[in-house]
Amino acid sequence: MNFHGNWNMEFLGIPSSSKSCLHPRQVMLMSLHDQEVCMCKYYENVNMILDGLKNILPEVPKYSEDLLIQTVCTLNQAKRMDRECQACGIAKPLDELFEGIDENTATSYFQWETCEDGRVRKQKIEGTIADAKEDLREQLQPFGRYVYNIKRQYAELKYLKESLQLSEVIIHEDFAEILLPIQEQIQPS
């Protein structure tokens, strides 16, 4: 039985399905995607370029890591992710992805940018396909190193957990976000 939903309907006259329209516009409900992937500037900026290109290039990868995999030999070596490998390259996969597309076609996408006041804001970027391609090329370099670092950290944490002695403990804190586990429940004020 959905007690909370019944309570809303009985005492407030609000069906559960209508509650989302009562949220302030700044409140965005989480999805499972928000819980499972990194939402940092590196990931988000590459993903937002890909989202902006989807209308023009339907074959563009949906996720930034899928595009990254196409541009490196392996995700497990720093030398490859830093683009020091002669076989790895950003140019050829991007040229193939944009092949046959008029690079003067107008497009737009969003980017997280640090403003003069030090705050990070989401900005709409308007330009051409060539601009988006160049932006993507520039962002894949630091993004590759970032993904490598994250994978190494997870591997090290996994190793530490597996080799943990009975008298030891691991304390892992993530200060990046505060998540409410169940959004639809009544929250304390």
pLDDT digits (tens, 9 = 90+) for 97-136: 888 889 999 999 999 998 898 888 899 999 999 999 999 9
How far, rounded to the nearest angstrom, does the alpha carbon of residue 59 sit from its chain's CA centroid? 19
Residue for token digits 């497990």?
Answer: 76
In this predicted structure, the answer to whether residue 71 has a pLDDT above a threshold of 80 is yes
Predicted confidence at residue 66, as pLDDT, reads: 87
The total of other beta-carbon atoms located within 10 Å of residue 109's CB is 22
On the question of pLDDT at 15 being above 50, the answer is yes
What pLDDT sits at residue 147? 87
Q: What pLDDT score was predicted for residue 182?
A: 46
Domain ranges of the chain: 39-162
| Neighbouring residues of 4: CB distance < 8 A, sequence distance ≥ 6 | 16, 184, 185, 186
* Long-range contacts of 14-23, Cβ-Cβ distance < 8 Å, separation of 24 or more: 16/184, 19/184
Average pLDDT, the chain: 78
Distances (CA, A) of 90 to 4, 70, 154, 186: 52, 8, 25, 48
The answer for residues whose C-beta is within 8 angstroms of residue 102's C-beta and 6 or more apart is 129
pLDDT number for residue 125? 95
